[in-house]
């Protein structure tokens, strides 16, 4: 009789262990912090509430808790980060690569061009590029001034 009880307890422990493992896997995958796809024409900018439509100038940040926020222009994201002083709470800061519309790149490693010949949604004439070389090509063609992430935050806080 004691053997039957021990076998039942062992089966219950095994089932409980399997349940805990499966539950852990579920939460580990469902709480994954990653960028979200921007729904162009539907998502709204966190700063100005305009609809995000321009794949060449959009931006996104994702908090360490996994909340993704969209911006219709790079300058909106920069101004929001400057205003809230919350950059350390972000897991991802992403900007659209002007040379590859719809492709989001790391905002901290991107190169930025402010050029009156390249219009952006909010009028800062700001575009982001995944590489410094590409940004220099657009600078040579359109004029303007190049910035890195830290320089850009200072420039847009003036």
Number of H helices, E strands in the chain: 4, 7
Split at pLDDT 50, 70, 90, the class of 7 is low
Q: Is the pLDDT of residue 11 over 90?
A: no
**pLDDT on residue 37:** 96
Beta strand spans in 8-148 (E): 59-63, 68-71, 90-96, 104-106, 111-114, 126-129, 145-147
Tell me what pLDDT residue 2 has. Answer: 55
What one-character DSSP code corresponds to residue 129? Answer: E
pTM: 0.80
């Amino acid at each position: 009789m004691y053997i039957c009880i021990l076998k039942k307890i062992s089966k219950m422990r095994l089932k409980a262990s399997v349940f805990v493992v499966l539950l852990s896997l579920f939460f580990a995958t469902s709480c994954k912090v990653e960028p979200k796809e921007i729904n162009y024409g539907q998502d709204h900018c966190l700063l100005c509430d305009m609809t995000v439509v321009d794949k060449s100038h959009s931006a996104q940040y994702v908090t360490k808790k996994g909340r993704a926020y969209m911006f219709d222009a790079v300058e909106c994201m920069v101004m929001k980060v400057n205003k809230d002083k919350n950059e350390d709470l972000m897991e991802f800061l992403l900007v659209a690569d002007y040379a590859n519309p719809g492709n989001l790149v790391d905002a901290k490693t991107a190169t930025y061009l402010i050029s009156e010949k390249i219009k952006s949604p909010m009028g800062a004439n700001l575009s982001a590029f995944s590489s410094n070389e590409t940004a220099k090509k657009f600078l040579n063609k359109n004029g303007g001034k190049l910035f890195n992430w830290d320089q850009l935050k200072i420039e847009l806080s003036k």
